[in-house]
């Protein structure tokens, strides 16, 4: 049941472990043990409606509560990897309770500070990252030292954007920026 009385709490820290644990709990609940994660199926099984929009002024994904149900609407991108990430990230906002816990921005009005918006965004990204690219699965597809071919393989096997693979590997300490992109440290 959606609580119509939204708390007046304000986000102050990124709850990274909690975001990851929430994602892993869903994988366990639906007995998903290998990539690619069919995020659309999980979202629908959790009772969330998925829509696609092609609006000139709204070229980004949104999620919102409509009556008693949540809706995720993503722009039409033509890129399945990005679509899956957008869905997972918006789903993270729902699962992590951002709508129930905080007063959040709407299309009509911004109520969050930039720093608070960044906290919620980071939590949702961490959730999406762990849902689509779980840390414990990565070792099945790579060997150390990691090279560019293996990193590309992860993108393909997991069906996620390159930026998600890169940030995940960096966060796990498996790569240094210069290892996959030598120009990142030169000029």
- Tell me if 100 sits within 8 A of 63, measured CB to CB: no
pLDDT of residue 146: 86
159-178 tens-digit pLDDT = 999 999 999 999 998 886 66
The CATH class for the domain spanning 1-132 reads mainly alpha
Strands 69-75 and 62-66: antiparallel
35-72 tens-digit pLDDT = 999 999 999 999 999 998 887 777 788 888 888 899 99
Query: What is the band of 109 on the pLDDT scale with cuts at 50, 70, 90?
Result: low
How many C-alpha atoms does 54 have within 13 Å on its Cβ side? Answer: 3
Q: Of residues 141 and 108, which shows the higher confidence score?
A: 141
Tokens 């949104």 belong to residue = 62
Q: Of residues 158 and 185, which shows the higher confidence score?
A: 158
Distance CA 169, CA 138 (A): 9
For range 82-109, the mean pLDDT: 83
In the chain, domain spans: 1-132, 142-187
């Amino acid at each position: 049941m959606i609580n119509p009385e939204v708390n007046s709490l304000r986000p102050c820290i990124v709850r990274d472990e909690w975001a990851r644990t929430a994602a892993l709990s869903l994988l366990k609940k639906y007995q998903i043990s290998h990539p690619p994660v069919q995020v659309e199926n999980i979202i629908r099984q959790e009772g969330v409606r998925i829509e696609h929009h092609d609006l000139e002024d709204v070229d980004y994904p949104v999620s919102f509560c409509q009556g008693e149900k949540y809706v995720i609407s993503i722009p039409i991108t033509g890129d399945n990897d990005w679509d899956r990430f957008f869905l997972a990230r918006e789903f993270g906002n729902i699962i992590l309770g951002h709508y129930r816990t905080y007063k959040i921005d709407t299309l009509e009005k911004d109520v969050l500070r930039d720093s608070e918006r960044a906290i919620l965004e980071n939590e949702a990204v961490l959730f999406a990252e762990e849902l689509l690219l779980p840390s414990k699965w990565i070792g099945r597809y790579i060997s150390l030292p990691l090279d560019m071919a293996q990193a590309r393989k992860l993108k393909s096997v997991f069906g996620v954007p390159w930026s998600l693979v890169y940030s995940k590997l960096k966060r796990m300490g498996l790569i240094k920026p210069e290892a996959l992109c030598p120009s990142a440290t030169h000029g």
